[in-house]
Structure 1
Amino acid sequence: MSENRVALADQALQNGAGLLSAAADSCTPEEERVTALSVCETVTRRLEHIQIELVASLMRDGAFADRGYRSATQALADVLGCDTVVARRRVRVAEDVCPHISLDGQSLPPRLPSTAGEFAAGRIGLRHVEVIADAMRSTAARRLAPDVWAGAEAKLAEQASAYRPGELAVFAHDLIMLLDQDGPGEREDDLPQANELHLSIRTGKLKGQLDGLTRELLATALDALCLPRGPEDDRTAPERRADALGEICQRVLDTAQLPQTGGERPHLNVIIPLAELEHRARAAGLDFGTHLPPADLRMLACDARAVPIVLGGAGQPLDVGRARRTIPDGLRRAIAARDRGCAKPGCGRPVSWCEIHHLEAWENGGATAVHNCVMLCRYHHRLLHRESGWTIRIHNGIPEFIPPKWIDRTQTARRKPPCLTVVLPMG
């Protein structure tokens, strides 16, 4: 599609959006507003399909790889400015409902042909497609004979428009269980269960699924530390287990039984603004973004197991000039305190997974100093060196990433959101 055709399409879309927006006026009859709402959903589904087709065509042509990206997901996240998990889902849908090229160069039909037809017609949305794709990837579905598998996919696509995605997921599960009459064989029953653990640093919520051996190991370790500590211990059982898990982690860190990360032994870095330190340390943060209440902060401030990093102070070697190319511990901690992990916007990889990149190459005269260094994960470090078009600058002391024109015509600088330090009142 030429640039002129894209501009015309953009103008037509804006005109249509304007008409639909006018229907939202409270003076518009309710029936017209309800109809406009349905039209919005139809337009959204059509746009979703167009977007997925564009993603698939760019993947087939190797456009992302040609620009230095090994992962279509990472490229799409940068182009659309969306989270990686969203980009990954769209790439997966493109692989399911669009034609693709085999290793020997042959054009192959969509993996889910019936679903692709319903999606292209606008009768189902992106979420419906994901539900069907997940169902057809299930262990039970993979046990079906090819013709039975194809029939199940066609049946789900046929019924999808009649169900909400949640209802479709239940229907898909029941249909596949019905077709999988033999169930898992003995060998499949013996396969190890996958371990999963999800931790939200922002909310502190923890969830996961553990296999039998891992469950037993964890339960044994918790049991040794979560008994009530006398009659005055009024903690609930869940509270005691949570405290026990924290104590287990603390003991492991204290005894140096973990491998090095980022070239040094794992430890807590307490990041304290100088102004807060001068006012009895009321606020601080840790490497993974956790904010500490005053009581915990004061405890860590006098604990040799924690490394305090004073922002704005003179206690760290913030500039070691040309003396060294390698990054000393003090300088790495200062950069980590500023960048909080990979500095690339949208990347959540923590400090322990990251490397230090010289903006001006050391061999070209670049200093090993905070103003010339940025923290990057291995993936984004390699991307930067693959001539992807991204450039980095330090602006007002903060790394900014300038996208190439093929991602953003205006090349507007992108940076991570600022770390807002929460100041709590003294108790």
Structure 2
Amino acid sequence: MTTARLIDVAELSEHVSELLRTIPGAATLARLSEIDPCSLSAADRINYLAALDRQDGWLYALRQRAIAAVAGLQPSEGEGPLYGVDEAEREDVSTALRLAPATAQSRIDIARTLVNNLPNTCSALATGEISAAHATVIAREAAIAIRNGAPDSVIFEVEQRAISFAELHTPGQVAARVRTDIAKAIPEEFEEITSRATALRRVSCYNEADGMSTVVAILPAADAQIVMNSIEAFILRQDQLHLSQNKSDTDRTIDQKRADALSTICSNFLSEVSETVTPQRRPLTVNVTVDLPTLLGLAENPGQLAGYGPIPASVARELASDAKWKRFITEPQTGNLLDFGRESYEPPQHLKDFLIARDRTCRFPGCRRSALLSDLDHAESWESGGSTSPENIGALCRRHHRLKTHDGWRIQSFSDGSCTWTSPLGKEFFTPARSMNEPV
């Protein structure tokens, strides 16, 4: 009885592994639907989930074709001044899918972009190479470029890179990569788009229930990073103050701390200003990466603003001249960080700053927590003989640091910043090195 039971479990495990490798389709979905995931081992449940996710991509590809068929491949113009674009078609989709009209229009726009302009993305969806979320961000970013006149050749190249990039990166990272590739391919158009968007900057306040209000700031990316860096620096200073006074501040979440910090910063400013305010330069370091030809005005490649992604060359040059910045040396082909200059107003600790600049974010797959706000952790512990070196140390946010230390996750670290994680169930996940030329 026990032997037969082991054979059944082994056969079921192999069956799930086979379905994970099988091209998505109705037959594969039917076979997956016959399996009770609760009957699987912990590792096989993960394979089962991954196999179902590939089916979701296949179904999503079919849905895009159906939406495009309902709405038409091109937008329709209604008759008369009271009718806008896709009036009837939008309602057809919204009622069929039980969506708000604005959401239905967004679905229509994405479907048209995929079907009309991104055939390779549709194919990758249908074969389970990328997820529905990856396809959506590729289509959304490409649609903006198409509306602004990007040629088909640019869209094709951007699409190919995005599909390849999606293998080891989250949808958010893919979106940032697509924006960067588009900015690099059509720098003049990107400059114009950014300029138009900057003119729409604003801060709004909306009254909510329960004595609350929502403040929304639509800002240029560099200014938004200044606001967030100020908030994070204020929180860090308060935490250090509490630590020196042996006080604990565990009652507030990080979101609550950020909200309180913004209020306190503004309150302090109001209490300090006099009737005459003298404008001053921004007293804040802005982390921006820009290649040397662009910095010298010989090229117009987009810069990379830490925490955001691509910015126009002119903005990158302005930030580099206006704020405190460091010299970064990258490997010409990959963009991986090889060294960094210590030519700043306040020289940092060599190894610490090198690792923060190299990793940029926590090294757990998909985590985007800033390396500056993370722990610098030994992959092989110091107690067991691990060295304090670039090969053995990297940035881990506090949560993923705890996973490694206490929850059975293991990490193999490499000198370029890449690493391989192994889960408690034996699943391996590779995190590639973070090129300084790429968004994170």
TM tier, shorter chain? Answer: 0.3 to 0.5
**Structure with the greater alpha carbon radius of gyration:** 1
TM-score computed with the length of structure 2 as normaliser: 0.40
**Greater helix percent: which structure?**
2
TM-score computed with the length of structure 1 as normaliser: 0.41
